[in-house]
A and B are shown apart, each in its own frame.
Chain A
Amino acid sequence: SAVISQKPSRDICQRGTSLTIQCQVDSQVTMMFWYRQQPGQSLTLIATANQGSEATYESGFVIDKFPISRPNLTFSTLTVSNMSPEDSSIYLCSVELDRDHQETQYFGPGTRLLVL
């Protein structure tokens, strides 16, 4: 499996501000994914980031609120814009890797965000 890191690991932010979360992988990957995990809940896919093209957003998530960059095959950023307390959540990136001839998703350690 790849080594996936995220920065920051946690942050406390004021409402109305924006935070950019970085995801770095130690190998080149085609697909990267961004998820949100609200307190006590399971994971919800925000968007899929493919290098060289616009991110594909899931229902309920829009680019103005969650802009994503994917400048190369090892890096992506997710910005949480104009934050409100409802954005308090864990944000995770994941990558798709071939494992024993099966594409499997591996997750980064997550970024814990608290919005006051």
Chain B
Amino acid sequence: GQNIDQPTEMTATEGAIVQINCTYQTSGFNGLFWYQQHAGEAPTFLSYNVLDGLEEKGRFSSFLSRSKGYSYLLLKELQMKDSASYLCAVIMNTGFQKLVFGTGTRLLVSP
């Protein structure tokens, strides 16, 4: 089976840095996405990693270690609007992009 784990909930304060971890054990791997999902809305794409290392994109960065089955999403200079759920999704190694989603992490940013 496929197993993708994330912490259920995290809290942080405005202006701080938070790291959301994702560990995975899947039968295939062709990359990993991070999505942000505000309550009542669709997931929106944040980042993609397929090679080991850090991908930086403004306030958000994502890291991948394929040998460890581990990724994290780093959010800097937190803003209230960053309060949302963050989903990691593994791209399974099929001919098309089959995604298996993690359990999701609900982040609450307080003033």
Contact = CB atoms under 8 A, between A and B. Distances in A.
A112 to B, nearest CB: 8
Contacts of A41: 103-104
Contact of B97 (A31, A44, A92, A109): A31
Contact of A102 (B48, B96, B99): B48
Interface residues of B, number: 19
A109 B42 contact: yes
A92 B37 CA distance: 13
A12 interface: no
Contacts, number: 47
A89 B102 CA distance: 18
B100 interface: yes
B98 A48 contact: yes
A31 B102 CA distance: 22
A104 B48 contact: yes
A105 interface: yes
Given A105-B33, A109-B42, A110-B42, A42 B97 contact: no
A67 interface: no
The range of chain A's interface size is 20 to 34
A3 interface: no
Nearest to B42: A107
Given A42-B102, A42-B104, A43-B87, A103 B43 contact: no
27 contacts: A1-B45, A33-B99, A42-B103, A43-B43, A43-B89, A43-B99, A45-B98, A45-B99, A45-B100, A48-B96, A48-B98, A50-B96, A92-B42, A96-B97, A102-B48, A103-B97, A104-B45, A104-B48, A105-B33, A105-B97, A105-B99, A106-B45, A107-B35, A107-B43, A109-B41, A110-B41, A110-B42
